[in-house]
């Protein structure tokens, strides 16, 4: 039985003080009895260390929103995986659609980041997803399968990897794929992973859904057989909304 995983991606929101306040409130709820799913939060880089201190006791995973594929060097504005590990991160999000769309990240760049993060001992959430144009042209499966194959090139062990399916047209728009639409793509991803790594690896791989997940639709989404939790954007910035989604995951 795959353990559900819910991760809040705070994106470029909140000062350090605001991040600590939000993380503290979430930790107080998650740290109690009754939460069985894995929970993570991904604040901005400046807030990682302080947030890590206030969630350490709660079991919440500290996650980074991005990384570079080199250990160090002349890469102004970048952060390496070894720096993230030293800051207490256990997960890093790689290949988010906003990184692909606004910063020109290709699947080849995503693959280098995946390999570097796994080698550093971090767990990876690798994001894949299609645009509205690709969805309307009927090439969703082709696009997402290609992102999976290219993103996992030369990766031999999926133990510390999670895939997040995020249809680009449903991120921050208020739109969401129907539960069945999401399930269909998740099932396709799992089948592609089985083709690449075998059925046992595919059965153990957790695949999250991201794209305007809310407490009102989380129960139905997470009830689908191949949806193993969510990568949550806007709703993760509000304690009650985020906890509603966490509770829907178990």
Give binding residues for substrate as ranges: 9-11, 172, 212, 233-234
Residue pair 248/222 in contact by the 8 Å Cβ criterion: yes
Whether 96 is catalytic is yes
User: Of the residues 38, 96, 105, 130, which is catalytic?
Assistant: 96
Residue pair 123/166 in contact by the 8 Å Cβ criterion: no
Whether 21 is catalytic is no
User: Of the residues 98, 130, 134, 166, which is catalytic?
Assistant: 166
* Cα dihedral 144, 146, 151, 156 in deg (nearest 10): 110
Binding site: what residues are annotated?
9-11, 172, 212, 233-234
Residues catalogued as catalytic: 96, 166
């Amino acid at each position: 039985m795959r353990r559900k995983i819910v991760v809040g991606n705070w994106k470029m929101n909140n000062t350090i003080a605001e991040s600590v306040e939000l993380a503290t409130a979430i930790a107080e709820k998650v740290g109690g009895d009754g939460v069985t799913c894995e929970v993570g939060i991904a604040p901005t880089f400046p807030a990682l260390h302080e947030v890590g201190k206030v969630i350490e006791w709660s079991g919440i995973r500290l996650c980074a929103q991005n990384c570079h594929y080199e250990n160090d060097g002349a890469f102004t504005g970048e952060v390496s995986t070894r720096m993230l590990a030293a800051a207490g991160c256990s997960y890093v999000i790689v290949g988010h659609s906003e990184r692909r769309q606004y910063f020109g990240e290709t699947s080849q760049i995503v693959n280098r980041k995946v390999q570097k993060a796994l080698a550093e001992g971090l767990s990876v959430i690798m994001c894949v997803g299609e645009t509205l144009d690709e969805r309307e042209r009927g090439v969703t499966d082709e696009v997402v399968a290609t992102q999976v194959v290219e993103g996992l090139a030369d990766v031999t062990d999926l133990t510390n990897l999670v895939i997040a399916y995020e249809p680009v047209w449903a991120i921050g728009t208020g739109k969401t794929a129907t539960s069945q639409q999401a399930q269909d793509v998740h099932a396709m991803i799992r089948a592609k992973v089985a083709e690449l790594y075998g059925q046992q690896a595919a059965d153990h791989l957790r695949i999250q859904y991201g794209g305007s997940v809310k407490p009102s639709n989380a129960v139905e989404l997470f009830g689908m057989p191949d949806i193993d939790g969510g990568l949550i954007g806007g709703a993760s910035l509000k304690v009650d909304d985020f906890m509603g989604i966490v509770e829907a995951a178990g």
